[in-house]
Structure formats: C-alpha cells, structure tokens
Amino acid sequence: MKTKKILSLFFAAGLVILFLSIILFLRKSHLWYFSAGLGMWFIFDCLSSPYEKNTALQVFLRDKKKFIKLYLSMVLLGAIIEFVGRFILGLWEYPHYNQTYEIASVLFYPFLLFQLREMYVLLKSKIKASFIPLAISVVMGIIIWEIPNLFSKDWIYYISAISLEIFNLNIIVIFGWTLLILIPFYIYKIVLKEK
C-alpha cells in the first residue's frame, strides 16, 4: 500500500480517536487525554507529511528501528519533564491518576510531543517568519490541551513564585509550552540525524 494511502487511513483513524476523546471528555472521563494525544498526533502528522519527509509516522512506516529510537527518546524526555516539573519543582500534579495512569502518561508522552512537533513543522512550512509559527503553535497547544483542562482539572498547577497570568494561565506554563514544542523539534534532528 502506498504511503499516501496509509497516511489517509491514519488521518481517518486520528479523527475517529479524537471524536472518541471528545466523548470521553464530555462524559468527564479522565482518560480523554491519552486518546486525544494519539488522535491529534495522527492528524497533525498527516497534515505535515506533504511538507516534511521525517514525520514520526513516516519514520514508523520507513524504519521501525529509527521510530523506536525516536519514541524512546520522547519517553525519556517525558520522564524528565515529569520528574523535574512534578517531583523536583512541584509545579503540577494529576489528582485523578493512580500510579498505573502515571506510568501510562509517560508512555503516551511521545504522542503529545509528536503532535506538537508536527504541528510546528506544518506551520513552519506555511509561514516563513521565524517566530510566528512557534507563537501560533504555543497558542494552539494551549487551546488543544490547557483550555479543556480548565474544565476537567486532570492536572493542576502549583506555581507560586510568579503570579503573572494570561487568560488564566501562568506565564511559566506558557513558557513550558514553548519548550514542549522546541525540544522535540531538535530531538528529531539529533535522532534522525537531520541538518
């Protein structure tokens, strides 16, 4: 089967998974976040594929070993983010998750990071200005993930050192989204040996 057709199937699967995530969210299930990450990754990966030859799905279809290396790099990044952000700095917690869900969240972290990277790559391909694609990606990440969380409270922030907020989000959280987009972008370059 040709790559274009396979990506179309992933796109359709992403839409179905995202629809199911919305249902989970509306039913107040705290599992919406896991499926939404997978669905959003499929969608943004397929949208950026015409402009980028090394999306995570393309790497998966072309070279399983490289994909595993990329996935494990993102698991490691997710584990570092969780360890530093939660356990060292105490910036957030997951009040509804038990230890099993917390382990699952680290294993699902790559899908969120893939989605953010592919979203950024898509915007960079359309908008040539250097800062604008990043700013739009941050805003989109906040809309996709933080706005629903204002209602579901799946994670709660504890940032007392700085109280500056924009749209009810602490400026540290917004800065964090910038890192969540840029670090995976550069990890791809290292793991896939891109220039």
Q: Given pLDDT bands bounded at 50, 70 and 90, which one contains residue 190?
A: very high
> What pLDDT is attached to residue 130?
79
Angle, helix 3-26 to helix 32-48, in steps of 10 degrees: 150
Average pLDDT, stretch 170-179? Answer: 90
Dihedral angle, C-alpha 91, 97, 98, 103, nearest 10 °: -70
Q: Mean pLDDT across the stretch 64-83?
A: 96
Q: Write down the pLDDT at residue 101.
A: 85
pLDDT at position 58: 94
Q: How many domains does the chain have?
A: 1
Query: 150 pLDDT exceeds 90?
Result: no
pLDDT tier for residue 2 given thresholds of 50, 70 and 90: confident
Query: How does the average pLDDT of the chain come out, rounded?
Result: 92
Confidence class of residue 195 from pLDDT cuts 50, 70 and 90?
low
Q: How far apart (Å, rounded) are the C-alpha atoms in residues 175 and 8?
A: 34
pLDDT per position as a tens digit, 39-66? 999 999 999 999 998 999 999 999 999 9
Query: Residue 50: what pLDDT?
Result: 92
Contact 63, 193 (CB under 8 A): no
Range of the domain at 145: 3-191
Which 3 state secondary structure label does DSSP give 155?
coil
Tell me: pLDDT of 167 over 80: no
Using one digit for the tens of pLDDT, what is the confidence trace for 88-130? 999 999 998 888 888 888 999 999 999 999 999 999 999 988 7
pLDDT of residue 19: 97
